[in-house]
Structure formats: C-alpha cells, structure tokens
Structure 1
Amino acid sequence: NLLGLLPHSFTPTTQLSMNLGMAIPLWAGAVITGFRYKTKASLAHFLPQGTPVPLIPMLVIIETISLFIQPMALAVRLTANITAGHLLMHLIGGAALALISTSPTTALITFIILILLTILEFAVALIQAYVFT
C-alpha cells in the first residue's frame, strides 16, 4: 500500500485480482484453522443463540453465504480505498500544477491540501494493512 505513495510508482493493491489472490488464502486459512481447533465455536456462528426453529434453515444459509462473501468484500474494500485515495491525490496534484501560472495563491492552498491528503493516504495504507491481516 505504501508503494503507491512514491512518485511514478504503481500500487499492486489497486488491482482486484491481486487483492483476491491475497484475501482468499488468508480467509481460507483462518476458516480452516477455526474449524480445526474450535469446531463448536465456529459452527455456533452459523446460528445465533435463541433463534426460532422456523428460521434456523434460512439463517444457516444466510450465514454460509456471508462467510463465503467475506474475502470478496475484503478485497473490494482494499481496492476501492487505495484506488480512491490515489485518484484523488492525482487529481489534486494536477490541479495544483495547472493553477501555478494563473493563481499562485490557490495553487499553494491546493498543494497544502495535497500534502495533508498524502499524510491521510499514509494512514489509510497502514489501516488497510491492519484490517487486511
């Protein structure tokens, strides 16, 4: 994630395929480990305590679908957050360069916003790395 903050570099985590390639094995490892060492607790997540009997089949299906959607949601969230931040930085940087000749004061304000956004992107990269693991 931090690689994209370097000038003229490419962030691999802006590609959904890269993120899915990381998310699926991590998710599978966590699920397999959970079922292997804490089978009863893992199965308990499929059915909340006190569920009415007629709702049991539907809730098990919904929780199973939810379990299998998790790696896709993780990958899409990482891709969207990193892509949006880099796109915003690119647009604001382009605006700052375009404004230098016409309005230096506005360009300076835009450049300060760009610096603050870069700091925010650094924080987002660290947070996304934490969330992903």
Structure 2
Amino acid sequence: MSSMWFVTLVLLILLGILGIAALLRERNANLAGPLNQLQSVEGWIGLVGLIWGLIGFLHLLSAMSAFSYAPFHFLIGLLTQFVVIALSLILSVPALKALIGENGFTKGLADFSARLAPFKAILGVVCLVLALWLLVRAF
C-alpha cells in the first residue's frame, strides 16, 4: 500500500466526521468535546483536503487510459476526488479567507461553497463509505 492510499484514507475519515459532526452531536452529546477539538482545525483539514483532492484529480487525469482497463475503479477514484474537493471546499473557505483575504476569488469560492453546504452531511457520509471501501479493497 502506498502512502497516497493512507493519506487518502485518513483524509476521508476526518472529512467524513467533520461532514456529519452536527448529526453526531445530536445523537450523542458526549461527543461534543472531541468534535469541538476537531472542528477547531476544520479549516486547515479542509485546506489540506482541497489541495489533496486537486492533486488526486490531476493524478487521475494522467491515468485516464486506465478507464478502459478498470472503469469501475477509475469512476470510484473520480467520485472520491470530487467528494473530497467538495467537502474540503465547504470546510476551507474561512481558512482561505484568512490566508489570502477577501477578494473576488474568495467571494466566488464562498458563494459556490454556500451552494454545496446543504449537502455537507451527505458528503460526509459518502466520505466515510469511500473510506470503508478503501479498507475493504486493501484487505
């Protein structure tokens, strides 16, 4: 297994937990402390996820010929990168604004992120399912 696989797995788990944090908090108030600690760095996790998702997407584009040999795995990889990018964008907008300031670019990202925000929990669940898929496929 490569380090890319492991980083993707950890990122999917972290993003998934952050995506469903509100649902977890509703169902179990005891999770509020650990979730608050994780949410205190969600912008940075989102920023790392956004960069990692873009790198993974470019990596998939360079392996586009694999689509003819393993279309299912290629499509799962593509879905993984899109979900990572979408959820990471939702989480990273505040960190991006803090890093590069308010401008047209960050305003556009914030507007797009706001359109994705209603799907945050769904994206979180999909991240966790994809993490489970990675684990099952590895063993």
Give TM-score, length-normalised by structure 2.
0.34
Q: Point out the structure with the larger helix share.
A: 2
Q: Which protein is bigger by CA-based radius of gyration? A: 1
Give TM-score, length-normalised by structure 1.
0.35
